[in-house]
């Protein structure tokens, strides 16, 4: 490329940026498709549609290291950018808690909010002897080796953590004795359970909806604050006496170096999206349940989740 052509291209790029054609950028830390891309594109579109931003939101896909590439880029290159938002989920905080981002820590960014979630579930086959969550917990307490869970994440991942959180809430401490088989996604996990290879499945509601409707499984608990709309017959773990909320939330973080006013402005914009009919329609179309925490409330919640996940990860030997 000649110097002249390079200069022309650079000038054109600078001119585009200078026009404010895209005032806000949303980084999806993965390739197009999937949860993080959905978060950026849906929230970005609605932000503009409901006039929370003055121009369409630019979506940048930045795959790598399970979100670590984007996290490092934001921390090191865009730490003070008030016009940058980044898609995140429960996988993000789990990886940070387990030091999967090469020494990066959750306090290097600010957590704006979550406005929807795929509810965690504990599922058994239709002919399982376990009729309630307490039946399952009691069986594990009596003989930890009698129950194996299948999940779509690797050992130590978010799916693995869900039943361990329930067992800890039940006062069970020998969690390393709990059997967990990590397979390639939720569909494989539910197939293992229906086929009798494992006694239970741990995953997300979206992964089992078809199996619920076909009557092949029984959901012992949904890990949400309240029962999920459309599935009101499924009890929460909390109402069964286990104070556990484990959802694969959809949300955003922003650079650490922005001001408090800028942070709270983003929290207000995200709350406006959560309150919009457009977002309610998007949740219904994509199997998400209401889950809204924004601003300081979400920041505090994330801090607790990170601490709990770190403690649990040490107990099962995922980290030292």
- 119 three-class SS: strand
Report pLDDT for 10. 36
Q: Is the pLDDT of residue 300 over 50?
A: yes
Average pLDDT over residues 42-46: 98
Contact 251, 115 (CB under 8 A): yes
Q: Which fold has domain 17-117+247-315?
A: D-Maltodextrin-Binding Protein; domain 2 (3.40.190)
Report pLDDT for 17. 36
Token duo for residue 135? 């039946």
Stretch(es) of the chain classified as CATH 3.40.190.10: 119-240
Which residues does 285 contact at the CB level (< 8 Å), separation at least 6? none
Q: Is the pLDDT of residue 7 over 80?
A: no
pTM for the predicted model, two decimal places: 0.82
Report pLDDT for 9. 37
Neighbour tally for 307: CB within 10 Å = 12
Report pLDDT for 206. 84
Short-list 99, 75, 102, CA closest to 254: 75
Task: Lowest mean pLDDT of 20-34, 40-54, 146-160, 246-260, name the range.
Answer: 20-34
- 21 three-class SS: coil
Q: Is the pLDDT of residue 145 over 90?
A: yes
Can you name the residues that pair with 37 across neighbouring β-strands? Answer: none
Contact 144, 173 (CB under 8 A): no
Stretch(es) of the chain classified as CATH 3.40.190.150: 17-117+247-315
Average pLDDT over residues 286-303: 93
Neighbour tally for 296: CB within 10 Å = 15
Contact 237, 244 (CB under 8 A): yes
- Residue 101's φ and ψ, nearest 5 degrees, are -105, 35
CA distance 235 to 228: 9
- Residue 110's φ and ψ, nearest 5 degrees, are -120, 140
Half-sphere exposure of 37 (CA within 13 A, CB side): 8
Report pLDDT for 8. 37
Do you know the residue count of the chain?
A: 320
Q: Is the pLDDT of residue 40 over 50?
A: yes
Token duo for residue 113? 């909010």
Token duo for residue 282? 């998007």
- Residue 286's φ and ψ, nearest 5 degrees, are -120, 15
**What CATH number does domain 119-240 carry, 1.10.3720.10, 3.30.470.20, 3.10.20.740, 3.40.190.10?**
3.40.190.10
Report pLDDT for 14. 34
CA distance 288 to 45: 17
- Residue 195's φ and ψ, nearest 5 degrees, are -80, -5
- 70 three-class SS: helix
DSSP 135-204: HHHHHHHH-GGG-EEEESS-TTSHHHHHHHHHHHHTT---GGGSEEEE-SSHHHHHHHHHTTSSSEEEEE
- Residue 56's φ and ψ, nearest 5 degrees, are -55, 145
- pLDDT confidence bin for 83, thresholds 50/70/90: very high
Short-list 92, 89, 81, 83, CA closest to 39: 89
DSSP 210-253: HHHHHTSEEEEEE-SSSPPTT-TTSPBTGGGT-----EEEEEEE
Report pLDDT for 4. 39
Report pLDDT for 186. 87
Short-list 118, 124, 128, CA closest to 220: 124
- pLDDT confidence bin for 287, thresholds 50/70/90: confident
Q: Is the pLDDT of residue 11 over 70?
A: no
Neighbour tally for 87: CB within 10 Å = 29
The whole-chain average pLDDT of the chain stands at 91
- pLDDT confidence bin for 22, thresholds 50/70/90: low
CA distance 21 to 102: 35
CA distance 97 to 112: 18
């Amino acid at each position: 490329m000649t110097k002249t052509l390079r200069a022309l291209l650079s000038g054109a790029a600078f001119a585009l940026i200078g026009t404010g054609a895209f005032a806000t950028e949303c980084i999806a830390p993965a390739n197009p498709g999937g949860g993080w891309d959905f978060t950026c594109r849906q929230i970005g579109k609605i932000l503009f549609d409901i006039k929370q931003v003055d121009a369409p939101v630019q979506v940048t896909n930045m795959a790598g290291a399970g979100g670590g590439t984007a996290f490092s880029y934001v921390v090191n290159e865009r730490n003070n950018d008030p016009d940058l938002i980044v898609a995140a989920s429960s996988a993000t905080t789990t990886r940070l808690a387990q030091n999967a981002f090469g020494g990066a820590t959750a306090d290097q960014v600010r957590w704006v909010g979550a406005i929807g979630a795929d509810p965690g579930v504990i599922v058994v086959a239709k002919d399982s002897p376990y009729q309630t969550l307490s039946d399952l917990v009691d069986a594990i307490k009596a003989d930890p080796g009698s129950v194996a869970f299948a999940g779509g994440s690797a050992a130590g991942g978010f799916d693995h953590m869900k039943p361990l959180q329930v067992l800890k809430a039940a006062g069970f401490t020998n969690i390393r004795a709990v059997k967990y088989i990590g397979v390639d996604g939720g569909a494989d996990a539910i197939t293992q359970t229906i086929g009798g290879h494992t006694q239970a499945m741990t995953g997300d509601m979206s992964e089992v909806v078809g199996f619920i409707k076909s009557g092949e499984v029984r959901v012992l608990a949904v890990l949400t604050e309240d029962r999920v709309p459309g599935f009101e017959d499924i009890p929460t773990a909390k109402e069964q006496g286990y104070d556990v909320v484990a959802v694969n939330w959809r949300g955003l973080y922003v650079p650490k170096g922005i001001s408090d006013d800028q942070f709270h402005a983003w929290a207000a914009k995200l709350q406006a999206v959560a309150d919009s009919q457009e977002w309610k329609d998007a949740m219904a179309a994509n199997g998400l349940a209401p889950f809204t925490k924004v601003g300081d409330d979400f920041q505090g919640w994330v801090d607790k989740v990170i601490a709990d996940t770190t403690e649990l990860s040490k107990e099962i030997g995922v980290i030292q």
